[in-house]
């Protein structure tokens, strides 16, 4: 396979998957409300949700900034110019998807809508099935041994 033609995806699926799941969770919460998440003290879960949301946004900004500084593709439909193993990529091979997942769960804590947790699980599963295998094939074709070494020492999520 020609590594220069082996793009990970034709369309940036993960942002669309997570956005769709968030909108679906909001709609499902209005149509078929699930029991709320029990909170021992009022405002604890929403406060925790805001903290997690801030962590998720910070993680995503850090990851995008790291990719931009290394002058490689930010969207998963672009061809990677460099194998980025610094910044948040030292800890996770998919820090942006981790940020999306944390943000989706944070919305559940903030709103008390349990559908967001179901949406997060579905989004993670869909991302693992649709996006990640293609991205990993692309990176392996593009960077070979360096990517294999990175993959062995760095977890996919956390």
In angstroms, the CA 18 to CA 65 distance is: 20
In angstroms, the CA 140 to CA 27 distance is: 39
Structure confidence at residue 38 (pLDDT): 79
pLDDT tens for 44-80 read: 999 999 999 999 999 999 999 999 999 887 776 667 8
Average pLDDT, the chain: 89
pLDDT tens for 77-119 read: 667 888 999 999 999 999 999 999 999 999 999 999 999 999 9
Structure confidence at residue 10 (pLDDT): 62
Burial class of residue 21 in the structure, from the number of CB atoms within 10 Å of its CB (0-12 exposed, 13-18 middle, 19+ buried): buried
For residue 102, which of 62, 61, 55, 38 has the smallest C-alpha distance?
55
The residue-averaged pLDDT of 106-135 equals 93
Q: Which SS3 state, helix, strand or coil, does residue 128 take?
A: helix
Asked whether residue 7 carries a pLDDT value surpassing 60, the answer given is no
């Amino acid at each position: 396979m020609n590594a220069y033609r082996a793009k990970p995806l034709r369309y940036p699926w993960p942002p669309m998957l997570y956005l769709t799941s968030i909108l679906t969770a909001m709609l499902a919460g209005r149509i078929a409300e699930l029991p709320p998440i029990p909170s021992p003290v009022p405002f604890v879960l929403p406060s925790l949700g805001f903290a997690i949301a801030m962590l998720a946004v910070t993680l995503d900004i850090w990851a995008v900034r790291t990719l931009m500084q290394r002058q490689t593709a930010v969207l998963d439909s672009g061809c990677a110019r460099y194998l980025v193993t610094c910044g948040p990529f030292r800890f996770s091979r998919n820090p942006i998807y981790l940020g999306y997942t944390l943000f989706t769960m944070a919305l559940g804590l903030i709103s008390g809508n349990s559908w967001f947790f179901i949406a997060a699980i579905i989004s993670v599963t869909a991302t693992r099935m649709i996006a990640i295998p293609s991205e990993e094939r692309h990176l392996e074709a593009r960077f070979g041994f360096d990517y294999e070494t990175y993959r062995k020492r760095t977890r996919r999520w956390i």
